[in-house]
Amino acid sequence: MDDIRHSIPATPVRFIDQLRQHMRQNGLSYRTEQTYIHWIKRFIHFHGLKHPKNLGRSEIQSYLNHISINRRCAINTQRVVLNALVYLYKRFFDRDTDDLDFKTAKQPRKLPVVYSREEVARILAQLDGVYRLQVALMYGTGLRIAELLSLRVKDIDFGSNNIVVRGGKGNKDRTTILPQDLKVELQAQIRKVARLHQRDLEDGFGEVYLPDALERKYPNAARQLTWQYLFPSSNIGVDPRTGVERRHHMHPSTLSRQIRLAVKQARVLKPAKAHAFRHSFATHLLEAGYDLRTIQELLGHSDISTTEIYTHVINRGDKGVLSPMDRLPLITNTQVSEPEILYLAAS
């Protein structure tokens, strides 16, 4: 249950709790909250556990230089760290962070791992049951693994052929396509969830986690089938905020382990990453002629420059260029005349 916001006191005293409260009041997603807190803690440890209110511009610059020069982080990582520290000082402490002078990370953004259509098919052939459905959904919709596992029964709209993604990256909602080939499997999965939910209710459980606002607005929703996770955990666990025993969704590590095994068995010589199916979704749509703006909306990218990276990994490059090597006429040994063979042998 590591994607459930942990409770903090109504009037927090600890610095980190005060910072968390500020982030929640300003509408940051829980994933952003976790990321910012992680880097702010590392910043504090780097400076000998000094309270950040006693640190300032020079300490921010020295830490950004440290992760760039000594840790050799990627430019995107340095940007995330900068955003976390700017939030801390500019929005939380209300202190100026303009004109920071630091060495920009040199590690370029890496091209995404993309599986070919044939490789996707081979990987899917190694998976069974719910794991095959999950991987097929990531490839067929472009969902991130966290978005996939956070799906509720109500988010599958068979009527409009859409899947609704709630609180995706950046805490944004969006819709993506519902693959027609997966409809029957999805309906069967919902029936499985319904049977499991009925057993939970009979055993005195059956309540699912809802964000605070929804829990207050719809007090009975947590026990309704429509709000149950599409891919529930095999075990009932304890909600870390309230101590209530609930069935959460499957843990990402469970699916990641199955993907690693399937990629190995399929003999695909590329990294085994759940996110690679999202990259493959975008790349294959681009190859099929869909425009970048459409793909951007399906992926939920706020900036189209993020989507443009897929133009560098499609089969013929970002300009549809065919290599001159692919235009050479095919000449076999049987097509070479006897005088030419003698000439070649003599030379």
Q: Walk me through the domains of the chain, giving residue ranges and CATH numbers.
A: 15-92 (1.10.150.130), 111-319 (1.10.443.10)
pLDDT classification of 4: cutoffs 50, 70, 90: low
Q: For residue range 143-156, what is the model confidence (pLDDT) as tens digits?
A: 999 999 999 999 99
Active-site hit among 24, 169, 192, 223: 169
What is the secondary structure of 179-202 as a DSSP string? -GGGHHHHHHHHHHHHHHHHHHHH
**Mean pLDDT across the stretch 16-28?**
90
pLDDT classification of 316: cutoffs 50, 70, 90: low
Look at residue 157 and tell me whether its pLDDT is greater than 70: yes
30 is catalytic: no
42 is catalytic: no
Rounded CA gap, 166 and 174, in Å?
7
Rounded CA gap, 163 and 176, in Å?
5
Active-site hit among 14, 103, 257, 275: 275
87 neighbors 22 (Cβ within 8 angstroms) = no
**Mean pLDDT across the stretch 78-101?**
91
Q: For residue range 336-345, what is the model confidence (pLDDT) as tens digits?
A: 555 554 555 5
Per-residue pLDDT at 199: 95
pLDDT classification of 21: cutoffs 50, 70, 90: very high
51 is catalytic: no
Active-site hit among 132, 278, 279, 284: 278
Per-residue pLDDT at 325: 64
191 is catalytic: no
310 is catalytic: yes
72 is catalytic: no
pLDDT classification of 226: cutoffs 50, 70, 90: very high
Contacts of 79 (CB under 8 A, 6+ apart): none
Active-site hit among 20, 132, 144, 197: 144
**Mean pLDDT across the stretch 75-102?**
90
pLDDT classification of 332: cutoffs 50, 70, 90: low
Tokens of 165: 């993604």
Per-residue pLDDT at 165: 93
